[in-house]
A and B are shown apart, each in its own frame.
Chain A
């Protein structure tokens, strides 16, 4: 997602001189093309994310569209108050680009994971939040939103190779995308973990459990109008996200169910434990936290109580 994001941004910057790229000293092998093509509009501000956000606020007030980039925890959590009192309070078009949703920096340890960004930012009504499922959706989401007059957070992963079957890069702000349809079970997911969900749905289908898979890339504005009728059709929904179970997609879906009195039970698949210091590759950490395809299948079977059908 990262590669296509900055390739597309470089193309957009050719058309629009308001685009500026700031990085907090990360982006080796990712930002060079932009930096070489637009040396006057590229700034490595150093390891200083608060200042980066403040600078972006000052630039945006003067009419620029600054993109600020770092690894997601560094670009969201360290300068969070600067986001709140800067682009959100001033309603300015700053773009916050966080690399590595969830456990993508897994071997780097707990400091590099990001499991609360959506939750924290989503409490603010004034920021658009986009968490694409794959690189094609990332590109389309950027093309459809880069020029919005509001602050935006893009939670993008590092996978630029795998596309989600059935998604075909579709994206609409405030909408969901259905990538698979079935009547037994509803999966709702966001971000790179969507690929695991689709894999889990495929495995289940081989056992005659047909699921619908809905992708929520537009976390804010949230796709309430799409979610309501969808949730009404199912007795059980699994929300799957590489995020803490509080504040993110599972919370959003729970809010829609509760707000509208929908009779759908939700199972929130996400991270529930506090950091324990153990690191490992993304697949290891997904499995550990019940987010691998195999673990999702296991949870789905347990929740729908149809173990027999799988064994037959």
Chain B
């Protein structure tokens, strides 16, 4: 099952679904393809999506849900028919994830919400004396939201060691580059001063992320943040670091080129 989830497969499904549905948010989803591979391929302990003691995962940057749908499909929790309803009428697979879909723990889409939910979920696990962990994937632009820092402060103060935030640090937001909009660099320092255990990784190296996360003490000590340095649109040359690909759907030619490029890099 582990090898069933690869960055290539996640990227391919993202491209296929984005093309079929003719939607954007492709660059954001490609940015986290390797992080999602690490999480669903190795990190998350989810014997069954309905197991109350499973690890929780919150895609706080909900607009990248295509990457999660791809993982849910590869895990066998979502059928191909269901996957192909992405962005069609009456689907549970919208642009942003809904908790009614099996395998999605919480609905997201409004930035700045996920980390506080995750904080509550981590607190719940502690109160229930469970060793389950809570992973929250946030974007760097999302760190513009004041509510995120409320959660950072609370989790740091209460030393929620079972809470792991992963930042998709791709330096971009919907309408600009983060250093031009709100420059939060060095990102790691902001979390460190609130008492978090900080790790920086290459967000496209799955084994590195697996290894760093495996080394975290989630039973005692402070909460953890993994600052994952990523490239927006990773894997498709004309999308990389281009603001346009937050929103744009692909033309037929662009789609073919994107497929060719991820195939070549496989």
Chain A residues in the interface with B (C-beta under 8 A): 20, 40-41, 43, 45-46, 48, 50-51, 53-64, 66, 81-82, 85-86, 89-90
CB-based nearest A residue for B128:
A62
Q: Is B116 an interface residue (CB 8 A)?
A: yes
Report, nearest first, the 4 A-B pairs whose CB atoms are least far apart: A58-B120, A54-B116, A62-B124, A51-B150
Q: What secondary structure prevails in chain A residues at the interface with B?
A: helix
A57 touches B150 (CB 8 A): no
Residues on A with C-beta less than 8 A from B124 are 58-59, 61-64
A residues in contact with B122, CB < 8 Å: 58
| Residue pair B120, A55 in contact (C-beta under 8 Å) | yes
Distance (whole angstroms) from the CB of B117 to the closest CB of chain A? 5
Docked pose: A40 CA to B121 CA in angstroms:
16
Give the interface size bracket for B toward A.
20 to 34
Question: CB distance B120 to A57 under 8 Å?
Answer: yes
| Contact B121 A51, beta carbon cutoff 8 Å | no
The complex places the Cα of A41 from the Cα of B121 at a distance, in Å, of 14
Other than A61-B106, A85-B113, give 19 A-B pairs with Cβ distance below 8 A. Answer: A20-B127, A41-B127, A46-B154, A48-B154, A50-B146, A50-B150, A51-B119, A51-B151, A51-B153, A53-B116, A55-B116, A58-B134, A61-B120, A62-B121, A62-B125, A62-B128, A64-B127, A85-B107, A90-B106
| Chain B residues near A (Cβ < 8 Å) | 52, 99, 105-107, 109-110, 112-113, 115-125, 127-128, 134, 146-147, 150-151, 153-154
Q: List chain B residues, Cβ under 8 A from A50.
A: 112, 116, 146-147, 150
14 contacts between A and B (CB under 8 A): A43-B123, A45-B154, A46-B153, A50-B112, A50-B116, A53-B116, A54-B117, A54-B119, A54-B120, A57-B116, A59-B123, A62-B128, A85-B109, A85-B110
Residue of A nearest to B110 (CB): A85
- Chain A, Cβ-Cβ closest to B134: A58
Complex CA distance for A56 and B154, rounded to whole angstroms: 13
Partner of B121, one of A45, A58, A82: A58
User: Cα distance A82–B115 when bound, in Å?
Assistant: 12
CB-CB under 8 A from B128, the residues of chain A are 62-63
**Interchain CB contact under 8 A, B154 and A58:** no
- Quick check: A55 and B154 within 8 Å, CB to CB? yes
> In whole angstroms, how far apart are the Cα atoms of A60 and B150 in the complex?
19
Return chain A residues, CB-CB under 8 Å to B107. Answer: 85, 89-90
A283 CA to B99 CA, complexed, in Å:
46
Task: A170 to B119: give the CA distance in the assembly, Å.
Answer: 39
Cα A132 to Cα B112 with chains together (Å): 34
How distant is B172 from chain A, measured CB to nearest CB, in Å?
A: 24
Assembly CA distance A60 to B121 (angstroms): 8
- Complex: how many Å from CA A90 to CA B110? 14
**Smallest Cβ distance from A124 to chain B, in angstroms?**
15
Measured CB to CB, the closest approach of chain A to B143, in angstroms, equals: 15
CB neighbours of B125 from chain A (8 A): 62
Nearest opposing residue in chain A for B98, CB measure: A89
